[in-house]
Amino acid sequence: MKKKLSVVISAYNEEKKIEDCLKSVAWADEIILVDNSSSDSTVMLAKKHNAKVFTQENNRMLNVNKNFGFTQAAGDWILNLDADERVSRELSIEIQKVISEEDDVTVGYWIPRKNIIFGKWIQNDMWWPDAQLRLFKKGKGRFPQQHVHEYLHADGPTKTLGGSMEHHNYETISQFLYKLDKIYTENEAENWLREKKAFSYIDALKLPAQDFLKTFFYQKGYKDGLHGLVLSMLQAFYTLVVFAKAWEKKGFFEENPKDFLPNLFSQFTKIALETKYWMMTVLVNSTNNPFKKIVFRILRKQIKKQLEKK
- Among 42-56, 99-113, 129-143, which is the least confidently predicted range? 99-113
Q: Residues 152, 258: one domain? A: no
Q: Residues 22, 148: one domain? A: yes
Query: Averaged over 47-71, what is the pLDDT?
Result: 92
Residue 59 has pLDDT above 90, yes or no: no
The single-letter DSSP state of residue 180 is: I
Q: Residues 159, 69: one domain? A: yes
Domain final residue pick, 121, 148, 168: 168
Query: Averaged over 120-127, what is the pLDDT?
Result: 92
Query: Averaged over 259-268, what is the pLDDT?
Result: 96
The single-letter code of the amino acid at 76 is D
Residue 242 has pLDDT above 80, yes or no: yes
Q: Residues 121, 223: one domain? A: no
| pLDDT value, residue 263 | 95
Query: Averaged over 254-259, what is the pLDDT?
Result: 94
3-class state of residue 83 by DSSP: coil
Distance in angstroms (rounded) separating the CA atoms of residues 196 and 150 = 18
169: exposed, middle or buried (C-beta count within 10 Å: 0-12, 13-18, 19+)? buried
Q: Is the peptide bond before 262 cis (omega within 30 degrees of 0)?
A: no
Q: Residues 177, 153: one domain? A: no
Which one, of 134, 136, 142, lies nearest residue 107 by Cα? 136
| pLDDT value, residue 125 | 87
Residues in a beta bridge with 159: 109
Residue 149 has pLDDT above 70, yes or no: no
Cβ neighbours for 231, distance < 8 A, ≥ 6 positions apart: 117, 122, 127, 215, 221, 224
Q: Residues 24, 154: one domain? A: yes
Quote the domain boundaries for residue 150: 5-168
3-class state of residue 18 by DSSP: helix
- Judge whether 208 and 199 are in contact, CB under 8 Å: no
Domain final residue pick, 117, 134, 168: 168
Residue 310 has pLDDT above 80, yes or no: no
More confident residue, 135 or 192: 135
- For residue 83, give the CATH number of its domain: 3.90.550.10
Residues in a beta bridge with 33: 9, 53
Q: Residues 43, 151: one domain? A: yes
Q: Residues 146, 205: one domain? A: no
Q: Residues 159, 14: one domain? A: yes
Q: Residues 198, 108: one domain? A: no
Distance in angstroms (rounded) separating the CA atoms of residues 8 and 33 = 6
Distance in angstroms (rounded) separating the CA atoms of residues 249 and 246 = 5
| pLDDT value, residue 128 | 94
More confident residue, 11 or 59: 11
- Judge whether 175 and 168 are in contact, CB under 8 Å: no
Cβ neighbours for 190, distance < 8 A, ≥ 6 positions apart: 249
| pLDDT value, residue 291 | 95
Q: How many structural domains compose the chain?
A: 2
Cβ neighbours for 22, distance < 8 A, ≥ 6 positions apart: 9, 31, 45, 46, 49, 51
Q: Residues 95, 203: one domain? A: no
Distance from the Cα of residue 293 to its chain's centroid? 35
The 10s digit of each residue's pLDDT in 168-187 is: 999 999 999 999 998 889 88
Domain final residue pick, 168, 191, 210: 168
Q: Residues 213, 106: one domain? A: no
The secondary structure of 185-250 as a DSSP string is: HHHHHHHHHHH-S---HHHHHHHHHHHHHIIIIIT-GGGGHHHHHHHHHHHHHHHHHHHHHHHHHT
| pLDDT value, residue 183 | 83
